[in-house]
Amino acid sequence: MQDQDRVATNLLTAARTNPPEQTARQPFHRSILFIVLIALLLRLAVITVGHTYRITPRRDHFQYGWEMGRLARSIAEGHGFSSPTDLPTGPSAWAPPLYPYILAGVFKLFGVYSGLSAWIILAFNSVFAALTCLTLYRIAERIYGIDVGRATAWTWAVFPYAIYWPVRVVWETSLTAFLLSLALLMTLRMADEPPRPRMWILFGLLWGIIALTNTAVVSMMPFCLFWLLYKLPRKAAFLGAALCVLTAALVVSPWLVRNYQVFGKFILVRDNLPLEMYEANNDQSAGLWTRNEHPGNNPEAMRRFQELGELGFMTEKGQQARQFIREHPGRFLRFTVERAAYFWIAPPQATIVAGYDLMISRHTNFLLAAVLAFAGLWLTIRNRKRGAFLLACFLLIYPIPYYLVMPFVRYKHPIEPEMIMLIVYLFWEARKIQIQWPIRKPTM
pLDDT 10s digits, 319-339: 999 999 999 999 999 999 999
Q: What percent of the chain has pLDDT over 70?
A: 92
H runs (alpha helix) in 264-348: 273-280, 299-327, 329-345
Query: Do residues 85 and 67 lie in contact, with contact meaning Cβ atoms separated by under 8 Å?
Result: yes
Closest listed residue to residue 125, CA positions, set 66, 65, 72, 81? 65
Q: Give every CB contact of residue 315 below 8 A, 6+ residues apart in sequence.
A: 274, 308
Alpha helices in 383-415 (DSSP H): 388-396, 400-403
What per-residue confidence (pLDDT) applies to 311? 95
C-beta neighbour count of 124 within 10 angstroms: 18
Percent of the residues in the chain that have a pLDDT greater than 90, as a whole number: 80
Q: From residue 16, how far is each of 21, 22, 27, 147 by CA, in Å?
A: 11, 11, 21, 16
For the chain, the straight-line distance linking the first and the last C-alpha, in angstroms and rounded, comes to 63
User: Nearest-5° angle of CA 344, CA 350, CA 354?
Assistant: 120
CA-to-CA separations, 370 to 149, 165, 233, 338, 390, in angstroms, rounded: 20, 18, 36, 16, 17
- Average pLDDT, stretch 91-101? 97
Q: What mean pLDDT is reported for the chain?
A: 91
When pLDDT is cut at 50, 70 and 90, the band that residue 314 belongs to is very high
Cα–Cα distance between 341 and 336 in angstroms, integer? 9
Which residues, other chains included, contact 312 with Cβ-Cβ below 8 Å and sequence gap of 6+? none
Interval 127-156 mean pLDDT: 98
User: How many CA atoms, within 13 angstroms, populate the side-chain half-sphere of residue 224?
Assistant: 27
Distance (Å) of CA 373 to CA 148, 378, 393: 15, 9, 13
Residue type for position 393: C
Which element (helix H / strand E) includes 352?
strand 352-353
Q: What is the pLDDT of residues 356-370, one digit of tens each?
A: 777 888 899 999 999
Q: Answer yes or no: are the C-beta atoms of 103 and 170 closer than 8 Å.
A: yes
pLDDT at 28: 83
Residue 59 has pLDDT above 80, yes or no: yes
* Tally of CA atoms within 13 A in the half-sphere of 341 that contains its CB: 10
Q: Are 289 and 411 in contact (CB under 8 A)?
A: no
Tens digit of each residue's pLDDT (9 = 90 or more) over 16-45: 344 444 434 778 878 999 999 999 999 999
Task: Give the residue extent of every domain in the chain.
Answer: 193-266
- The arithmetic mean of pLDDT across residues 194-220, rounded, is 97
Q: List alpha helices for 93-196, DSSP H.
A: 98-110, 115-143, 146-158, 160-168, 173-192
Mean pLDDT, residues 4-21 taken together: 43
Whether 281 shows a pLDDT value over 80: the answer reads: yes
Picking from 413, 424, 341, the residue whose alpha carbon sits closest to that of residue 180 is 413
Q: Helix 299-327 crosses helix 329-345 at what angle (to 10 degrees)?
A: 110
353: part of which helix (H) or strand (E)? Answer: strand 352-353
Tell me the one-letter amino acid at 111: G
Residue 128 has pLDDT above 90, yes or no: yes
| Count of all residues that appear for the chain in the document | 444
From the list 243, 242, 223, the residue with the least C-alpha distance to 231 is 223
Backbone dihedral angles phi then psi of residue 396, each to the nearest 5 degrees: -105, -35
